[in-house]
Amino acid sequence: MKNRKPLLGALLLGGLLLGGTAQATPSGEMLGNTCSGCHGTHGVSMGPASPTIAGISKAYFVDAMKAYRAGERPATIMNRIAKGYTDEEIEAMAVFFSGMSYEPQQQKFDAALAKKGAVLHKQFCEKCHEDGGTSSEDDAGLLGGQWTPYLSYTFEDFKAGTREMPKKMKKKVEELQLKAGDEGLPALLNFYASQGK
């Protein structure tokens, strides 16, 4: 009987320790693997309707997921998916994806339009979407080498008012439209497509 007390104490302590571990937030990588069906392995998308999220800034990822979860950002499925994650899990995924390398996609593009788009990007977009749109400030998304259909759908949402433009972006888009008219957006999209590697 005397020998059982230390054994029972050790088992109880072990159970408490293991129980605490079981309640911990899963790793960002494990959670991020659930995104691979649409966004590709480690966030590098292979489908034109889903953006690459590898290399996305942590702040941008968190803001996007919380906006999806709250129903403040339009989506086909992300608003439902985001509701399944806690703030801690979103943070863990943000750390994971922001630590991955961004891989711009190779796509077809019109060289003449891309040349015009390069000038427009430098004038209106480069401040927030640096390096030709392949890197970004904390509150800006990745554009250069991002799938053209995805970017086109996103701009359509902004234009239709179903997705609210950030104030800085709205001002720049209005200036872009005054300068380039209807040719501005296609030129930018071709420029971003030209940034693939």
Q: What CATH number does residue 61 fall under? A: 1.10.760.10
Cα torsion angle, 165, 127, 97, 28, sign: negative
What is the average per-residue pLDDT within 130-145? 86
CA 83, CA 90: separation in Å to the nearest integer?
A: 10
| Dihedral sign from CA coordinates of 20, 24, 30, 34 | positive
Domain match, 186 and 141 both: yes
Give the domain extent around 87: 28-98
pLDDT, one tens digit per residue, over 103-128 is 999 999 999 999 999 999 999 999 98
**How many domains is the chain partitioned into structurally?**
2
- The residue to which tokens 């749109």 are assigned: 133
Q: Which two tokens stand for residue 72?
A: 């403040």
15 part of a folded domain: no
pLDDT tier for residue 6 given thresholds of 50, 70 and 90: low
3-class SS at 140?
Answer: coil
Claim to verify: residue 117 and residue 178 sit in the same structural domain = yes
pLDDT surpassing 70 at residue 78: yes
The answer to whether residue 3 sits within a structural domain is no
Average pLDDT over the chain, rounded to an integer = 88
Q: What's the mean pLDDT in 5-29?
A: 59
User: What pLDDT does residue 8 have?
Assistant: 47
Is the confidence at residue 100, as pLDDT, over 80? yes
For residue 141, give every residue at least 6 positions away whose Cβ sits within 8 Å of its Cβ, in sequence order, or none. Answer: 51, 56, 60, 129
pLDDT at residue 137 above 90?
Answer: no
pLDDT confidence of residue 74: 87
- Let me know whether 188 and 115 are in one domain: yes
Q: Does residue 97 register a pLDDT over 90?
A: yes
CA–CA separation, 103 vs 97, rounded Å? 12
Q: What pLDDT score was predicted for residue 41?
A: 92
> Is 20 part of a structural domain of the chain?
no
Confidence (pTM): 0.82
Residue 44's Cβ-side half-sphere holds a number of Cα atoms within 13 Å equal to: 11
> Ranked by mean pLDDT, which of 20-24, 138-142, 169-173 comes out on top?
169-173
109: left (phi over 0), alpha (psi -120 to 50) or beta: beta
Task: Residue 89: name the closest of 34, 167, 171 by CA.
Answer: 34
Q: With respect to residue 120, please indicate whether it lies within any of the assigned structural domains.
A: yes
Same domain, 85 and 115: no
121 and 89 within one domain: no
